[in-house]
Structure 1
């Protein structure tokens, strides 16, 4: 019997992929005008896939937030024949990127009903994320998502998922037994399988057509797979 639910934020509650698409489009227009607009999906894939693992290095505490983002920006420009993004040009790049990114923060359509169901069932919820707590609080507020406190961010312990301590700290702060706590996230490796390894119930939210490259998309032992949050109630035994 599940007694609590922890959520990932990006691409689980908030449509961060869509916000990144807006940001990449703004970057193309401002800095890469020679790239046709129809190639923006390719640019988005390069940004999200992060082939050299700069964001993962950030979650391990090996890179600062701005440094990983500047490196990814530079690689994006190089991949599409644009000017290099160095420390002197990064501020101008960030102004364009971040302005569009913030404007694109929206909740996924299935979020309100899922949270309402959990609230009415008396199931406490929280968020455990691989971004800074204050950033994710701002993101949830801008997306109109209420009642999901950000319990653990990458700045809470100095590292992020898939380390088991991150999930266990979320359970501790929520006051729930890990074995009776579900963790719901869009990445099968750092979310669902890592949650199971930490002793939680792992739920992989495999939204249609949103998978990123460079990820092992096998379900894994003990992992529940849903295609939307409307399927969550059945997995949690609340349907």
Structure 2
């Protein structure tokens, strides 16, 4: 069996299927920053650090987001479940209007906190130069996704080529969402590569659906049996090095800098 390499995974591709949260956008930082504001609005007098509450919500030990992505829960049920878990974990009383109060404080701060990872603009430019389509595939909602893309001025670029959980009523790792992403850019799944920070959702799930997969392992945890990169710059370098496809990366400044995807 031929060993799979980054070059072989990218050879002859028609499309990049990009995850959003914690892949191109620093969602952990944005959610914990916005969640700190929201926790302060719900529990202004708590002795706990509001940042600790926000981190617990982001980490989601009750796996409520996974249940939302499977289509089992609505977005409101998912958020309430996480808030109930949060209140229980820190022995706090959950207000009756917790969901509405949380979002009222959370959403404006979340929009302001959006940052694109610094290796993303060059990747998008390299894909354009190589004639490779880019489509976004996320388990987040369409509304939340548009908040991110509008804040980063990427909404027009990806207009009509985004698959969110509410597109089909479920998300990754259901094989149909990967195929829908390929369909949107008229790409053969076998010539499309899914890239993201979740080994299960962005690599294993994509491969099961007939795509190729590359794990974005920014933390350097290591993967056995799967192609991985520490930075999107590694993918950019392969696209740029392809014969006749040399591209120059744009100025990264207008997108903001990363402070380090739900």
Q: What SS class does the counterpart of residue 125 from structure 1 fall into?
A: strand
1:219 alignment counterpart = 223
Counterparts of 1:180 and 1:233, CA distance in 2: 17
Shift, 1:91, TM fit:
1.2
**TM-score calculated relative to the size of structure 2:** 0.78
Q: What SS class does the counterpart of residue 203 from structure 1 fall into?
A: strand
1:118 alignment counterpart = 127
Call closer, same or farther: CA 1:91–1:133 in 2, change over 3 Å: closer
Q: Is the 1:193–1:220 contact (alpha carbons within 8 Å) kept by the matching residues of 2?
A: no
Alignment coverage as a number of residue pairs: 228
Call closer, same or farther: CA 1:183–1:128 in 2, change over 3 Å: same
Q: Is the 2:32–2:55 contact (alpha carbons within 8 Å) kept by the matching residues of 1?
A: no
Counterparts of 1:102 and 1:108, CA distance in 2: 16
**TM-score calculated relative to the size of structure 1:** 0.85
2:101 alignment counterpart = 92
The higher relative CO (CA closer than 8 Å, separation ≥ 6) is in: 2
Alignment of 1:198-213 (within 5 A): 198-208=209-219
Counterparts of 1:151 and 1:112, CA distance in 2: 18
- The answer to whether residue 193 in structure 2 is matched with residue 160 in structure 1 is no
Counterparts of 1:74 and 1:36, CA distance in 2: 16
Q: Is the 2:79–2:99 contact (alpha carbons within 8 Å) kept by the matching residues of 1?
A: no
Greater mean alpha carbon deviation, residues 98-107 or residues 180-189: 98-107
Q: Is the 2:22–2:197 contact (alpha carbons within 8 Å) kept by the matching residues of 1?
A: yes
